[in-house]
Structure 1
Amino acid sequence: MKRVIAIANQKGGVGKTTTSINLSACLAEAGKKVLVIDTDPQGNATSGLGLDKDECENTVYDLVLDQCSIKECMYSVENIPNLTIIPSNVDLAGAEIELLGINEKEYILRNAVDYVKDDFDYVIIDCPPSLNMLTINAMTTADSVLVPIQCEYYALEGISQLIHTIDLVQERLNSKLKIDGVVFTMYDARTNLSSDVVDTVKNNLNATVYQTIIPRNVRLAEAPSHGLPINLYDPKSTGAESYRNLAKEIIGRKDL
């Protein structure tokens, strides 16, 4: 089954991009054809997969402004068969203003992705840490939203607003949108706080919680600076094993 998953949480630093990079790489490693769309102007998913974001001729920015076709801004990721990325860079920060007055601007990304969606098993969209037009475009394109939640005191801050936004998009723009589920990140087994956060979310959030919990892991933090996903940077690390397990869970989902 082909699926488009937006990875979103307007709170920064919760592991959205880390999850986008490593989940995509592990899905590709499992033999799935994967397209990553970087809709964050910081372009961290782009550089984390080894592309020089300032050297890419065509990016998401050019795509949403109709300056190129979707196939013209797709790049194969080196060393990872089955993985393709549509990159981003700081140019995208100005796109929202440039889209003012454009009709149907909420559907620009969806209309583009429709041309290539059947070529991939999974399309993973890395969203910016805000609820702006780029995030709305991601949600109108997606079948479901995967929400990374950091295991820390402020974990639930903003989640209710995100769920409200998902509900609004579902009601007005994309009736098929679902919450894919929650994945816990930066889990520290040495602290009571991490387990308390997991329990609180499970008890208060009406959404699937993935069994796989991503640990706080030094190798995961190091990998992006080398332009590699964790399954290439340190294939035997706990971080790599965790994202492989998450990929298996997602592949095994039958309810979406």
Structure 2
Amino acid sequence: MNKCKVVAVANQKGGVGKTTTTVNLGVGLAQQGKKVLLVDTDPQSSLTVSLGIKNPDDLNTTISDLMQVVVDNGNLSPLDKGILKDIEGVDLVPSNIGLSSFEVSLVNTMSREFVLRSYLGAVKRNYDYVLIDCMPSLGMLTINALASADSVLIPCQANYLSTKGLKLLMGSIAKVRRQINPELKIDGILLTMVDSRTNNAKSIIAALRQTGSNLRVLNTEIPFSVRAAECSVEGKSIFAHDGKGKVAAAYTALVEEVSTLEQRNRNRPGADRGL
């Protein structure tokens, strides 16, 4: 199996499509024959619910339990314990509200930034891609995700408040690079819920794309769609809910773009980090 790529889907702004992107990029990659693991690191369990697990608090094992095993120097055996298998072709490490109290306990944990990385180091050998759905904050769980990742994908709405928060996120990524994970790359900004009919969206998208080589904005844009908003309620990906719609087509294009970028990076050792 090829080297696994770990991608953190992150933005401290909520409601920008992180979970939707994690689900649909993951399922799209699986449809291309890739072995994919999705990891929910948000105590709100949005990713878990979006994949059809309606009562996450009833689960016996979640990401907080698995990370606690790492903290306790326990043996992660069997390695697939707690992983929910083959949901629309992807595997899932779920979360529930217990992750919130676990994050608080991390403050007093030795090497607290590397707990998730230790867990993923044990299981990622079985996958081509691991996608981490980050919570909408820059707290310890997000730092763990960035410390674990090879790259960051940044979903962002084409509006003023979403783009305003990018500077803070970029500062946090730069700090993680300096202190924790110097190999961390940025795949780019993914524009989500785009309504290209509005002048405001057009001007913001144009401004972002004019940043040039300093920050890559992916060619793919995810359009706004009520059908996409229905997916989390249904507990399905856009491919299962509206496979012939414009959002499914956009996520198919995103899969192709991400795959192309990854192949390009593998063929160009020492290439820039996307900043």
Q: TM-score range by the shorter chain?
A: over 0.9
Instruction: Tell me what 2:24 maps to.
Output: 22
Instruction: Tell me what 2:235 maps to.
Output: 227
For the 8 Å contact 1:155–1:197, the answer to whether it is kept is no
SS at match of 1:184: strand
Using the aligned pairs only, state the percent identity.
40
Count of residue pairs the alignment pairs up: 254
SS at match of 1:126: strand
State the Cα deviation string for residues 180-219 of structure 1 (Å, max 9, x = none).
1110001002111111111111223722211110000111
RMSD: 1.4
State the Cα deviation string for residues 3-42 of structure 1 (Å, max 9, x = none).
1000000011111111111111111111111000000111
For the 8 Å contact 1:50–1:77, the answer to whether it is kept is no
Structure 1: 4+ residue segments shifted above 6 A: none
Instruction: Tell me what 1:45 maps to.
Output: 47
Match of 1:154 among 152, 161, 172: 161
1:246 aligns to 2:254 (yes or no): yes
Rounded Cα–Cα distance in structure 2 between residues aligned with 1:156 and 1:34: 29
TM-aligned CA deviation for residue 144 of structure 1? 0.5
Rounded Cα–Cα distance in structure 1 between residues aligned with 2:159 and 2:165: 13
Match of 2:140 among 133, 136, 140: 133
SS at match of 2:12: coil
TM-aligned CA deviation for residue 255 of structure 1? 2.1
Rounded Cα–Cα distance in structure 2 between residues aligned with 1:132 and 1:19: 21
The runs of 5 or more residues in structure 2 that have no matched partner are 267-275
TM-aligned CA deviation for residue 148 of structure 1? 0.6
Instruction: Tell me what 2:14 maps to.
Output: 12
Rounded Cα–Cα distance in structure 1 between residues aligned with 2:42 and 2:103: 12
TM norm structure 2: 0.89
For the 8 Å contact 1:65–1:99, the answer to whether it is kept is no
Instruction: Tell me what 1:186 maps to.
Output: 193
TM norm structure 1: 0.95
SS at match of 2:251: helix
Instruction: Tell me what 1:84 maps to.
Output: 91
The runs of 5 or more residues in structure 1 that have no matched partner are none
For the 8 Å contact 2:11–2:18, the answer to whether it is kept is yes
For the 8 Å contact 1:49–1:77, the answer to whether it is kept is no
Instruction: Tell me what 2:114 maps to.
Output: 107
Rounded Cα–Cα distance in structure 1 between residues aligned with 2:122 and 2:219: 34
Residue identity in the other structure for 1:30: Q
For the 8 Å contact 1:35–1:84, the answer to whether it is kept is yes
Instruction: Tell me what 1:199 maps to.
Output: 206
Match of 2:63 among 48, 60, 64: 60
Residue identity in the other structure for 2:31: E
Instruction: Tell me what 1:177 maps to.
Output: 184
State the Cα deviation string for residues 142-190 of structure 1 (Å, max 9, x = none).
0001001101122222111110110110010001001111100010021
Instruction: Tell me what 1:168 maps to.
Output: 175
Q: Counting helix residues as a fraction of each chain, which structure ranks higher?
A: 2
Rounded Cα–Cα distance in structure 2 between residues aligned with 1:56 and 1:247: 30
Instruction: Tell me what 1:212 maps to.
Output: 220
